[in-house]
Amino acid sequence: MTLQPGLIDSHCHLADKSFNGDREAVISRAASCGVHRIVAVGGGGPIEASEASAELAAANPSLRATAGIHPHDAGNYSDEIETRLRALLARPEVSAVGETGLDYYYDNSPRPAQREALARHLALAAEFRKPVVLHCRDAETDLREVLETERPGGLSGVVHCFTGSYEQAAHCIELGLLISFTGILTFKNAGDLRETARRLPLDRLMVETDSPYLAPQPYRGKRNEPAYVCEVAKVLAELRGVSIETVAEITSANAESLFFS
């Protein structure tokens, strides 16, 4: 299936080593089924992951990169890392800050360090006038508090891989953020999340793979890749009672203006 106007995978860890053997093939497989643009996020590992994402985006006009330190690694945030983030954020192909945020499910970094790193990323986003890619797991109340303290006027960006409640999503939208869904939307046990996706304003939504993680049905358990974002869009279209082309048009317009304009 090839879609017109095409889908954008708004969040993919394309620099991840699991793509080292076939990255070009992965990008062309996505393009051949209508996924014509991909956001190669940084933040899935050390600062080098963001630097590698920027190199990929510099070499391919259908890609954009983001630069940040994942909440899992927030304990390692330092002035030296911030200097390297600044150098990345000055580059035109690096269109957003992140992923940053709070992950209280894994707690891989101490929570105060996660909140501090998030605040520093929000300051960088304001300074460079770039949107922010937020990751939040089991930390919605604290995320809200940090956002309201650091950016009381609201902000531009996305809460990616959204898994919270309808009310939490609605509040993020009030702050100016978009909500993005992954393959979790296709999982059998995600009924509550599907109900949230059905009710939110479609014009504030995006779709993503978060690949190589979280492969949607029917690929669950395998390595995920950008081509599979179609499965997320398909479920969203069914939930909303609209065509997949409509979902593609609206979610791609959002991703386009956030990352590619």
Contact pattern from residue 94 through residue 123 relative to Zn ion, giving x for each residue in contact according to CB under 5 A and a dash for the rest: -----x------------------------
Tell me: does residue 231 bind Zn ion (CB under 5 A): no
Tell me: does residue 72 bind Zn ion (CB under 5 A): no
C-beta of residue 49 within 8 angstroms of C-beta of residue 80: no
Task: Work out how close the CB of 168 gets to Zn ion at its nearest, in angstroms, rounded to a whole number.
Answer: 16
C-beta of residue 114 within 8 angstroms of C-beta of residue 71: yes
Q: Which is nearer to Zn ion, 99 or 140 (CB)?
A: 99
Tell me: does residue 210 bind Zn ion (CB under 5 A): yes
Residue 228: helix, strand or coil by DSSP?
A: helix
Q: 135, 151, 194, 204: which one contacts Zn ion (CB under 5 A)?
A: 135
Q: Which is nearer to Zn ion, 244 or 259 (CB)?
A: 259
Task: Work out how close the CB of 161 gets to Zn ion at its nearest, in angstroms, rounded to a whole number.
Answer: 5
Give the end-to-end CA distance of the chain in Å, rounded to a whole number.
Answer: 27
Angstrom distance (rounded) from CA 2 to CA 145: 42
Residue number with the smallest Cβ distance to Zn ion: 135
CB atoms within 10 A of CB 227: 22
CB atoms within 10 A of CB 132: 27
The footprint of Zn ion (CB under 5 A) covers 99, 135, 210
